Structure 1
């Protein structure tokens, strides 16, 4: 018993031994300390909390959109895959970490043997040999029970700890990968919902245009029969009706595709009520605060995951370095061995064995050296991946800020164009009725108005999508509000139906 306890004590003590891992130093962020100069980057003393701390429920204010996101977080299959990978990585880390401690096994054996005369059975390496020095063959029973550890590595040089450290960092990276997938899903659901709303608004415009063009075509048809206009003018007015009908059918196809895309994201069919037009200017989103330094990028989950992988690569260098040093292992077994089952637990049947084994590379033809070089190369690649992730994140934020700076003046100008186009169209109708202009001028005014209205909806969608992209780029939605829980799918579906009715 004492050798087993001594072996366990020694194994525990060496867990705090030396490590071959290089001292980790975070690379400097390869981006400026602030984003390119723009109006959105001006710090405000009353600005709300940064995007990383803003719960997505506070950012997406539309109740229907909130419930859609809740459903997606429960049902989306891609997010389930990411969650399964996270759990798998955690289990792998637990398995790797267990190798740092002695594994105690309990074994039992019962058997009958026959040995020829003057023979000796080789030792089994655990509880000693069984001999037979008689002149005649003999048969006997063997009963054995033993508990102990076999070949437990004394981690003097941090080989096992480096492997466990690497596995732990990879598990953390997988966990933040899940958070990245979660943020991406929230953004995809929001973008799909906004695209559906925009297409519904465009369908409503197309239907209004079709009705207006049909009314004008009816007037031209009657005038043609009365001899007031030529066939050319009558046919031309009908082409505008046909073009408007093409737009209506095209928008219905787009809405059907939007519904299908949203159904895949939330993992269940979308209620038909979503295909009905609803107010487009509803306050859907909260503005992202201005005045954020680029240092906040290191709170994005994809950047955190990239650094975790960098730390894992650093630990892998320690594993490769430890391979140059001796490998020392302990064996300790305590048990009982007897020829009869009734005497197996008697004091005289006690048996034990303890030993130390060691190995050290002498001639490996450059295997360990090349493995160390490969590990250092992987670390260099991880550094480049980490820096590249930061640069890409910086670009995403800078692009979103640039769009936010300039899209608002563009929206104001486009709204002014819509207002002027509506006025021009109204005047052209009056002039046509008074006989001051032909119908061609009225058609041109109506087409200009329709194009301006379409562009305005498109710009409003671009602005909303850019807000979502900026929120995501700043790491928003990573930290869930602790007091809120996602509803079960039946409750969520009922809530969506209630939210749609509330918007009517």
Structure 2
């Protein structure tokens, strides 16, 4: 940067102070203005309501597990600690806007040989010439003052404070995102446990039926009514059902272990069996407009706060090209005797100002500005990518919601028909109209259809949870404002620069 290019902005900044931060503009949404038409059932999207998780998850047992998880989950505690650290770092940055006053005391004894002069050391003290005889003397002093307080004419400190403030806001939004993710994980784990218990019940019912059929076939084999092949085949169905039962026990044990990790402690001793799988557990969530995601989803808010922080960092990098003006001032008392330290005439003070400007830095500031701009470019891409991912999550959840209901209806009809076929095949077998193979096939078809129905019901419930999370469920704009207010309270009173959104 050429010296003559600094004259005009330097004069203005010296008079009123200025900032080198670029004017922030939110990037345009890199997504369509509306969700895909096939995911809206022809209905216009509206502003999604602020639905607290207590209203969405209506199962009392699930509500209790979520409350325990919010209080004990270790990952959420890490996010809370990171938020507290970011707030504290912001407070440290804000303190740099004000002069730091230190109180210092000194007591010493010194001997100077003849024909020497005491060198200046920057402290409050007399200069003595000893040109003939050596001398020994005491020095006592108490002083208060500030050293190297930067006058922020060019906004370097304010840009750093603005950056720290936005990073603190981003950390608060990260905490909210972790909180929503935890709620969703607990809910999905609970739903999986419910579904696996329903599948266990089906497997146990199937095992009981297969054991009953196997006993019939063994008796028929002993009586010579069926071949050994048919008797052995019926026993393999029993073994298959036993494997399914043990597999479901294993899955349920893993579900419980996973829930224990999520809630941060073993499941409560009073924890009862979950509500019936068919019972309504979740409240339906209407989809909002794509633009509402920008203000509702904490991960998008965090990404934009980091983009604002990167924008502020450019101001800090630009200010590095301009002079650094600092003040130093001290006031205290000085005496050669401790008893005279606070007497009249012992007052001492000094004041000064220093200015430094880059002259030859071998490109350090230029490269620093280039790096800051690159970080801003990366933060912009990260923000746009977060918006795109949020849009995709909502669109995917809407697509599943719109198409899974017909699939569930068809699957329920398949279960009903398979139940009828199995019932008829049992009657035909008992009356000798069909062999046992037809009954086994009908039973296997019914079991598979019932398993698929539970799986689809689980998919529907999990998709409702995912849609709730994707729309920023449980996150309200008031929460963000409350977090910002909490960060602002960490700053010294009277400091207002660098925090606007």
TM-score by length of 2: 0.90
How far apart, CA to CA, are the structure 1 residues paired with 2:417 and 2:53? 38
3-state DSSP of counterpart to 2:351: strand
How far apart, CA to CA, are the structure 2 residues paired with 1:84 and 1:15? 42
Number of matched pairs: 466
> Who is 1:296 aligned against?
292
Judge which range, 35-44 or 383-392, deviates more.
35-44
3-state DSSP of counterpart to 1:324: coil
How far apart, CA to CA, are the structure 2 residues paired with 1:126 and 1:187? 63
2:210 is the counterpart of 1:210:
no
How far apart, CA to CA, are the structure 2 residues paired with 1:122 and 1:145? 20
How far apart, CA to CA, are the structure 1 residues paired with 2:239 and 2:228? 16
> Who is 1:308 aligned against?
305
Cα gap change, 1:480 to 1:227, in 2 (>3 Å): farther
User: Cα deviation per residue 1:280-331 (whole Å; 9 max; x = unaligned)?
Assistant: 01111000014x2100110200000000000000001001100110111000
> Who is 2:229 aligned against?
232
Cα gap change, 1:392 to 1:371, in 2 (>3 Å): same
> Who is 1:501 aligned against?
none
> Who is 1:453 aligned against?
450
> Who is 2:29 aligned against?
29
**8 Å contact 2:170–2:305 — kept in the other structure?**
yes
> Who is 2:17 aligned against?
17
2:183 is the counterpart of 1:158:
no
**8 Å contact 1:14–1:155 — kept in the other structure?**
no
Shift of 1:112: 1.2
> Who is 1:260 aligned against?
257
> Who is 1:419 aligned against?
416
3-state DSSP of counterpart to 2:37: coil
Residue pairs, 1:211-360, within 5 angstroms: 211-271=208-268, 276=273, 278-290=275-287, 292-298=288-294, 299-360=296-357
Residue pairs, 1:366-405, within 5 angstroms: 366-405=363-402
> Who is 1:9 aligned against?
none
Equivalent position to 1:69, from 66, 69, 74: 66
How far apart, CA to CA, are the structure 1 residues paired with 2:405 and 2:221? 46
2:86 is the counterpart of 1:89:
yes
Shift of 1:126: 3.5
> Who is 1:500 aligned against?
none
> Who is 2:494 aligned against?
none
Unaligned stretches of 5+ residues in structure 1? 1-12, 483-504
> Who is 1:502 aligned against?
none
How far apart, CA to CA, are the structure 1 residues paired with 2:267 and 2:69? 11
How far apart, CA to CA, are the structure 2 residues paired with 1:34 and 1:104? 57
**8 Å contact 2:197–2:252 — kept in the other structure?**
yes
Alpha-carbon RMSD: 1.9
Cα gap change, 1:314 to 1:175, in 2 (>3 Å): same
**8 Å contact 1:120–1:132 — kept in the other structure?**
yes
Judge which range, 238-247 or 335-344, deviates more.
335-344
Cα gap change, 1:14 to 1:407, in 2 (>3 Å): farther
TM-score by length of 1: 0.89
**8 Å contact 1:325–1:361 — kept in the other structure?**
yes
Cα gap change, 1:354 to 1:91, in 2 (>3 Å): same
How far apart, CA to CA, are the structure 1 residues paired with 2:118 and 2:204? 96
**8 Å contact 1:145–1:337 — kept in the other structure?**
yes
Shift of 1:129: 4.1
**8 Å contact 2:170–2:302 — kept in the other structure?**
yes
How far apart, CA to CA, are the structure 1 residues paired with 2:319 and 2:222? 97
